[in-house]
Amino acid sequence: MQAPESDPESITGINITPLVDVVLVLLIIFMATAPLLHRRALNVNLPKAAKSERVATETVRVELQLGGKILLDGAALTVPDMIRELKRLIELQPAAHVAVAADKAVPYGEVVTLLDDIKQAGIKRVGLEVRVR
């Protein structure tokens, strides 16, 4: 038996052009997402104290119902009354937290207006309540 002769036009090498294209696309993706990952992964070394106490901060719940009704810890208030109560609270507890719970059918603009009113009262720490599925 005779060994088959190689065809002068047959491809014997590997075409690396598609491999280079894929590697460059992956490099671009990693370069674009690396700053986002770095911001999340910042570690802060806090100083340690010999003695410490956990102080519970009071969280005030502000609810925005579908009809525009505002409840502050279960009590129905108008917007000016809510702002006045939050200003009084911030005088007593400067580090007070506010948790906003809005009905999912409430328009986004009304929620933003409520958040602006809360910020106007001087509250610096505001959280939005969501339901975990």
In order of start, what are the domains of the chain with their CATH numbers? 59-128 (3.30.420.270)
Average pLDDT over residues 82-104: 87
What is the model's pLDDT at position 1? 54
pLDDT in tens, 100-131: 888 888 888 998 999 999 998 888 888 887 76
Question: 24-33, 42-51, 121-130: which has the minimum mean pLDDT?
Answer: 42-51
Enclosing H/E stretch for 125: strand 125-128
What is the model's pLDDT at position 37? 64
What is the model's pLDDT at position 132? 56
Sheet with 70-72, strands from edge to edge, namely: 75-77, 70-72, 59-64, 97-102, 125-128
Average pLDDT over residues 13-25: 89
Enclosing H/E stretch for 32: helix 17-40
In this structure, are residues 111 and 119 in contact, taking their beta carbons and an 8 Å threshold? no
Enclosing H/E stretch for 76: strand 75-77
Block residue for tokens 């809510």: 82
CA distance 55 to 94: 14
SS percent in the chain: helix, strand, coil, step 5: 40, 15, 45
Q: What is the pTM of this model?
A: 0.55
* Residues whose CB is less than 8 angstroms from the CB of residue 126 and which lie 6 or more positions away in sequence, other chains included: 97, 98, 99, 100, 115, 118, 119
Question: 4-13, 28-37, 88-97: which has the minimum mean pLDDT?
Answer: 4-13
Burial class of residue 25, CB neighbours in 10 A (0-12, 13-18, 19+): exposed
